Amino acid sequence: MYYDARKNDHGLQYDPMKAIVAPRPIGWISTLNEHGGVNLAPYSFFNLVSYRPHYVMFSSHGRKDSLRNAEREGEFVCSVATLQLFDEVNKTGASVAAHVDEMQMAKLKSKPSQFVKPPRVAKSPAALECRYHQTVELPASDAQADPYLMVIGEVVGVFIDDKVLKDGRYSADMVKALGRLGYFDYTVAGALANTDSPS
Ligand SMILES: Cc1cc2nc3c(=O)[nH]c(=O)nc-3n(C[C@H](O)[C@H](O)[C@H](O)COP(=O)(O)O)c2cc1C
């Protein structure tokens, strides 16, 4: 089959796009609201987009709390979402009022960050502490729809739980990071195909 992506006339029951670009890592974004309360939400439009300096991005469908907090406070933290924390990841994806602390809502404990104010998810084996850099608005396809806004941040601090370091390497096998597929499907990182020279 072949279809016009702008018309989106694939004729399938569901749009296959998110299933094609998969798996997508999940950035579990913590920020502080204007009262200093913690906000936490998963974003699967998330990725590392450059290397030295390390920039990451998450993309918000409309102006959600994470984006507003990151812009206002200038900081956010991306904890790694793992299979072990699958239920909590989904709970924190619920749409709730801006003042609700999703860490508490999902019965998650936090740990202070070292370089920024928002805390990380204590049980997550790695977290990227970020300084807000820029928001890029991606125009919506029609006037009624909310645009996506890509929030870019520079990673200024990295936490790794020593337990997931094996022979000096961050072990995908031990971390079991969740990846988002299409529809309501997820996968877990760990099936390795490797070349001889890591970068
Ligand atoms: C696994 C997962 C991935 C998600 N990815 C995104 C995303 O990339 N962009 C987005 O706008 N919403 C995404 N959502 C929905 C947000 O997490 C949800 O709207 C949340 O309430 C936003 O919270 P906030 O307003 O505190 O930022 C995702 C939800 C789940 C469960």
Residue identifier of the C-alpha nearest atom 6 of ligand 1: 43
Question: What mean pLDDT comes out for the span 65-80?
Answer: 98
Q: Is the minimum distance from the CB of 85 to ligand 1 under 6 angstroms?
A: no
Pocket test for ligand 1, best of 32, 44, 148, 151 (most atoms within 8 A of CB): 44
Query: What are the structural domains, with CATH classification, of the chain?
Result: 26-188 (2.30.110.10)
23: preceding bond cis by omega (within 30 degrees): yes
Parallel, antiparallel, or unpaired: how do β-strands 148-160 and 165-166 relate?
A: unpaired
pLDDT band at 199 (very low <50, low <70, confident <90, very high): low
d(CA 194, CA 199): 11
The confidence score (pLDDT) of residue 195 equals 73
Nearest to 78 by CA among 106, 102, 57: 57
Structure tokens at 28: 């579990």
The whole-chain average pLDDT of the chain stands at 95
Residues sharing a CB contact under 8 Å with residue 108, sequence separation 6 or more, in sequence order = 40, 85, 88, 92, 121, 122, 123
3-state helix, strand, coil in the chain (%, to 5): 15, 35, 45
Is residue 44 pLDDT above 70, yes or no?
yes
- Report which ligand 1 atom has the smallest distance to the Cα of 42: 17
Contacts of 133 (CB under 8 A, 6+ apart): 55, 152, 153, 154
Nearest-atom number in ligand 1 for the CA of 65 is 25
Look at 133 and 195; give whichever has higher pLDDT: 133
Judge if the beta carbon of residue 180 lies within 6 A of ligand 1. Answer: yes
pTM exceeding the 0.85 threshold for the entire prediction: yes
